[in-house]
Amino acid sequence: MRYALWLISLLLAGILIAACQSPKAPVIFEEKMMVMGTVVSVTIAGEEDKLSNKAFHDLLTDFKYMQAAWNPWKKGSLARVNQLLPMGPAFTIGPGIKDILERSRILAQKSDGLFNPAIGKLVKLWGFHQDEMPEGPPPSDAQIQKLLTSGLTLDALTVEGLSLVSRNPDITLDFGGFAKGYAVDKAIEHLQRLGIKNAIVNAGGDLRAIGSKGDKPWVIGIRNPRTEGIIASLRIKGDESVFTSGDYERFYDYKGNRYHHILDPRTGYPANETRSVTVVHGDAATADAAATALFVAGPKRWEEIAKKMAVSEVMLIDKAGKILISAALNARITFLDRKNLDITVSRLVHE
């Protein structure tokens, strides 16, 4: 409930900033839906209500479909794949799953395996394959090591046409680190097909924006990982996605320790050097996967992995609250209280 309230306030924060009025403010359409475990808000500028309404209802149908297809713990296409994968023989998958699998395979390779959708069983073992927050206890080290030793990577899966086969019965798929971005891209593509040029699709604070709000850019808020407010705002340049991975999104406390949902595929434990990572990039799928990967990479490896994934606008807030930010993002972000923050700017080699 607290999370839901926070989400609504963040969505509002983004939109309120966006509402800093221009003299010729365009008509703004804004509607929300509850899908994929979060509040998705669709904002469209300067279109007739009839078109905006149609667009919103199309997206509602699409998001509901994608939510049913890609949820690892509810009956649907992905749950079926996860049931069949460990059995051994090759089986037929739908073209939708094939596409998301192939896209995520490329991103997983570029991330050096830190973004790894093959760790479904590990995410389940930690208790995160359910709608409710788990209460613990966390899994035993023996359980974790047993899963890790088999080598959980997408390399063990072979796709030929629509046939999928796995060489490792410990692999199941979890697209939680990437499906939201993939879905937001599909949503924006649909709006563009309808002729809409100025819009934001915001899924619980993660968003892709196109165009502008009349003669002003869209302005969005980036969440502070330790308060319920925002730490910075950003003016969007045309077509951009802003995705954040955080340790505050899904977690539980057990006997004084906090366990959150972003797992380090090398250790099998929640990645513990980072509070949040924000990535700004053209497409939402890449931004989403990169935010998850760079969260795992942590303060020591984020620059190297950002380079491999070809993302240049990144902000990482480490476990002590220190901000590490790429020069490209630092040049355009507006912190609410810059002088009281510990900020280190890094010039990524590929910028």
Point out which residues bind Mg ion (CB under 5 A).
177, 245, 288, 291-292
240 binds, among Mg ion, ligand AMP, none (CB under 5 to 8 A by kind): none
Angle at 293 between CA 233 and CA 212, to 5 degrees: 30
Phi, psi of 121 (to 5 degrees): -65, -30
Instruction: Select the binding partner of residue 117 from ligand AMP, Mg ion, none (C-beta < 5 to 8 A, by kind).
Output: ligand AMP
Burial of 19 (C-beta count, 10 Å sphere; 0-12/13-18/19+): middle
Q: How far is the CB of 103 from Mg ion (least distance, A)?
A: 13
Cβ burial of 260 (10 Å; 0-12, 13-18, 19+) is: buried
Binding to ligand AMP (CB under 6 A) within 121-180 occurs at 123, 128, 174, 176-177
Q: Which C-beta is closer to Mg ion: that of 59 or that of 291?
A: 291
Q: Choosing among ligand AMP, Mg ion, none, which partner's interface includes residue 265 (Cβ < 5 to 8 Å by kind)?
A: ligand AMP
CA–CA distances in Å: residue 106 to residues 52, 80, 99: 34, 23, 11
Measured at the alpha carbon of residue 303, what is the angle toward residues 154 and 100, in degrees to the nearest 5?
30
Give the count of alpha carbons within 13 A of 260, CB side only.
17
Nearer to ligand AMP, 56 or 251 (CB): 251
CB of 266 to Mg ion, least distance (A): 18
Cβ atoms of 214 and 22 closer than 8 Å: yes
Q: How far is the CB of 57 from ligand AMP (least distance, A)?
A: 27
Q: Residue 59 touches which of Mg ion, ligand AMP, none (CB < 5 to 8 A by kind)?
A: none
Residue 236 vs 311, nearer CB to Mg ion: 311
Q: Which is nearer to ligand AMP, 78 or 200 (CB)?
A: 78
Residue 326: CB minimum distance to Mg ion, A: 18
Instruction: Please list the residues that pair with 279 across neighbouring strands.
Output: 243, 314
Nearer residue to Mg ion within complex by CB, 177 or 298: 177
Separation between Cα atoms, residue 231 and residue 83, nearest integer Å: 42
Residue of the chain from 82, 116, 198, 330 that contacts ligand AMP (CB under 6 A):
116
Please choose which of Mg ion, ligand AMP, none residue 326 contacts, taking the beta carbon within 5 to 8 angstroms, the exact cut-off set by kind. none
Q: Where are the beta strands (DSSP E) in the chain?
A: 28-35, 38-45, 91-92, 157-160, 163-166, 199-203, 206-210, 219-223, 230-235, 240-246, 251-254, 257-260, 274-281, 313-318, 323-326, 333-335, 343-346
Number of shown-chain residues binding ligand AMP (CB under 6 A): 22
Stretch that binds ligand AMP, among 163-171, 292-300, 305-313, 333-341 (CB under 6 A): 292-300
Q: Tell me which amino acid residue 285 is.
A: A
Q: What DSSP assignment string belongs to 254-308?
A: ETTEEEES-B-TTTSSB--SEEEEEEEESSHHHHHHHHHHHHHHHHHHHHHHHHH
Q: Stretches 39-47, 134-142, 291-299, 324-332: which one binds ligand AMP (CB under 6 A)?
A: 291-299
**Residue number of the CB atom closest to ligand AMP:** 176
> Nearest to residue 329, comparing CAs of 278, 254, 260, 295?
278
Binding pattern to ligand AMP, positions 237-256, x when CB under 6 A? --------x---xx------
Give the per-residue contact string, 257-276, with ligand AMP (x = CB under 6 A; - = no): ----xxx-x-----------
| 47 versus 249: smaller Cβ distance to Mg ion | 249
Residues that bind ligand AMP (CB under 6 A): 114-117, 119, 123, 128, 174, 176-177, 245, 249-250, 261-263, 265, 288, 291-292, 295-296
